[in-house]
């Protein structure tokens, strides 16, 4: 199956979920608008196609967007966090970059920052689904493996797969497999061959289709502004599906969607409805619409999200983003705060897409972040640094 997973497959996938025994809710209704006045003859329910975040103005520490009809949208963004992240992208003048931060419990968007060299601030980068998901997709794979009964302590030996995967990487070979690691460490160090081997053994085409759909790929994202779906195709080839499971192509992602993935794991497997419009006010200040937090869908069971999140802490404590979160003397940049994360890097032509997706604090999640930096060809900064700055700004005030 190489077509994009779309709405037409949802009923079939819902039935499949029941057969496989995984409680994945594949449909959800949009949040209802709460009106303070019944006299307003206008649509006050998301998506709000006329709320242009690029036109936001800071008024009394609130981010406000004027609408064409004279009303104004009061945004959920944290103005200090928004300003700080805008300054970082501008300071390093990255070719392209985007950051989305969400309160995983309420779905409120805390930061919505995009940047393009030569253009400056560019909100479209936050919802652009063109970048490859790269190894961020391992979050989806890890969740599917846990649900399939694979434990984070499961050890697998491997001998290749650093920059690509071939058929031999799927087969155990005492002569070739010189290293071994657990699934938990494989997520922290982003070991492709381990994910490829385990996915080949435990995730068939139907199950992969089930999970990409449940995590929102190929569908309209639960967001109150228009946003394009993240493209995905599930290969029928075993090798290509193993490559997909490890993050080699077949899936694309926007920073907004990345933040929703992190929010899902942080929120005990429940994907929140993401909202950037807190309320809409009339010119006189009357509240015409007020956002009410709600769950979009239960994606994976609570225990699966908890175990996946624990594995993601390895990325920060000893894995691929340790240097961004600890100084050379071993001191944490976020003292006393446990962080869960996942990196991803993939090149296309002279462009390198670099990701960090995660949340903190692990034991009481308050912010989920997805940061993307596109470098070409000289690297300016890494996404891990951008994400760390977002977490520090928000959590260490």
pLDDT score of 3: 42
Q: Report d(CA 277, CA 74) in Å as an integer.
A: 6
Q: Report d(CA 306, CA 357) in Å as an integer.
A: 16
18-27, 72-81, 359-368: which has the minimum mean pLDDT? 18-27
Task: Quickly tell me which residue has 């058929």 as its tokens.
Answer: 167
pLDDT score of 379: 87
Pairing of strands 351-360, 340-348: antiparallel
For 7-23+50-395, CATH number out of 3.40.710.10, 3.40.50.2000, 3.60.10.10, 3.30.70.270 equals 3.40.710.10
Find out whether 244 and 251 touch, Cβ atoms under 8 Å: yes
Q: Is the pLDDT of residue 114 over 50?
A: yes
Q: Is the pLDDT of residue 324 over 70?
A: yes
Q: Is the pLDDT of residue 358 over 50?
A: yes
Question: Which helix or strand (DSSP H or E) is residue 181 part of?
Answer: strand 179-182
pLDDT score of 378: 83
pLDDT score of 39: 40
Q: Is the pLDDT of residue 299 over 50?
A: yes
39-43, 102-106, 175-179, 273-277: which has the minimum mean pLDDT? 39-43
Q: Is the pLDDT of residue 181 over 70?
A: yes
Residues 6+ apart with CB under 8 A from 65: 51, 52, 53, 55, 56, 57, 72, 73, 75
Q: Report d(CA 192, CA 320) in Å as an integer.
A: 13
Q: Is the pLDDT of residue 30 over 50?
A: no
Residues 229-276: pLDDT tens digits?
A: 999 999 999 999 999 999 999 999 999 999 999 999 999 999 999 999
Q: Report d(CA 123, CA 75) in Å as an integer.
A: 14
Q: Of 390, 391, 373, which Cα lies nearest the Cα of 382?
A: 373
Q: In whole numbers, what is the pLDDT of the chain averaged over residues?
A: 91
Q: Tell me the mean pLDDT in the region 151-160.
A: 96
β-sheet with 287-290: strand ranges across:
57-59, 62-66, 72-75, 277-281, 287-290
Q: Is the pLDDT of residue 16 over 80?
A: no
Q: Tell me the mean pLDDT in the region 127-148.
A: 98
Residues 362-382: pLDDT tens digits?
A: 999 999 999 999 998 888 899
Q: Tell me the mean pLDDT in the region 144-155.
A: 98
Q: Is the pLDDT of residue 386 over 60?
A: yes
Q: Is the pLDDT of residue 48 over 50?
A: yes
Could you give the 3-state DSSP secondary structure of residue 270? Answer: strand
Find out whether 265 and 340 touch, Cβ atoms under 8 Å: yes
List the structure tokens of 306: 């908890």
Q: Tell me the mean pLDDT in the region 99-120.
A: 97
Could you give the 3-state DSSP secondary structure of residue 7? Answer: helix
Q: Report d(CA 290, CA 224) in Å as an integer.
A: 12
Residues 6+ apart with CB under 8 A from 220: 7, 227, 229
Percent of the chain with pLDDT over 90: 86
7-21, 215-229, 346-360: which has the minimum mean pLDDT? 7-21
pLDDT score of 27: 38
Residues 199-237: pLDDT tens digits?
A: 999 999 999 999 999 999 999 999 999 999 999 999 999
pLDDT score of 162: 85
pLDDT score of 44: 78
Q: How confident is the model at residue 45 (pLDDT cuts 50, 70, 90)?
A: confident
């Amino acid at each position: 199956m190489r077509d994009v997973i779309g709405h037409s497959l949802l009923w079939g996938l819902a039935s499949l979920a029941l057969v496989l025994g995984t409680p994945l809710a594949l449909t959800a209704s949009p949040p209802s608008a709460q009106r303070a006045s019944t006299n307003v003859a206008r649509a006050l329910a998301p998506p709000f196609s006329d709320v242009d975040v690029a036109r936001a103005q800071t008024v009394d520490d609130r981010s406000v967007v004027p609408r064409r009809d004279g009303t104004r949208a009061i945004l959920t963004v944290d103005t200090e966090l928004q300003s700080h992240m805008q300054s970082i992208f501008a300071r390093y003048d990255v070719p392209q970059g985007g950051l989305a931060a969400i309160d995983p419990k309420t779905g409120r968007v805390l930061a919505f920052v995009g940047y393009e060299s030569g253009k400056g601030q560019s909100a479209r980068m936050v919802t652009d689904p063109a970048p490859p998901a790269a190894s961020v997709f391992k979050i989806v794979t890890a969740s599917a493996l846990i649900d399939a009964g694979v434990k984070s302590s499961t050890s697998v030996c491997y001998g290749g797969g650093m920059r690509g995967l071939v058929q031999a990487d799927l087969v155990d070979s005492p002569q070739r497999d010189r290293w071994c690691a657990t699934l938990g460490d494989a997520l922290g160090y982003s070991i492709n061959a381990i994910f490829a081997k385990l996915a080949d053994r435990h995730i068939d085409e139907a199950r992969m289709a089930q999970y990409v759909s449940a995590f929102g790929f190929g569908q309209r994202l639960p967001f109150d502004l228009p946003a394009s779906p993240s493209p995905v195709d599930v290969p029928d080839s075993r090798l290509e599906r193993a490559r997909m499971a490890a993050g080699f192509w077949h899936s694309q992602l926007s920073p907004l969607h990345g933040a929703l993935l992190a929010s899902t794991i942080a929120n005990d497997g429940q994907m929140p409805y993401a909202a950037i419009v807190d309320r809409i006010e009339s010119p006189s200040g009357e509240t015409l619409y007020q956002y009410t937090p709600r769950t979009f869908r239960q994606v994976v069971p609570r225990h699966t999200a908890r175990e996946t999140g624990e594995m993601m802490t390895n990325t920060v404590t000893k894995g691929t983003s340790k240097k961004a979160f600890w100084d050379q003397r071993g001191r944490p940049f976020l003292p006393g705060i446990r962080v869960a994360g996942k990196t991803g890097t993939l090149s296309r032509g002279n462009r390198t897409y670099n990701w960090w997706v995660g949340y903190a604090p692990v034991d009481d999640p308050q912010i989920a972040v997805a940061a993307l930096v596109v470098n070409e060809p000289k690297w300016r900064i890494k996404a891990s640094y951008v994400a760390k700055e977002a977490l520090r700004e928000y959590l260490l005030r």
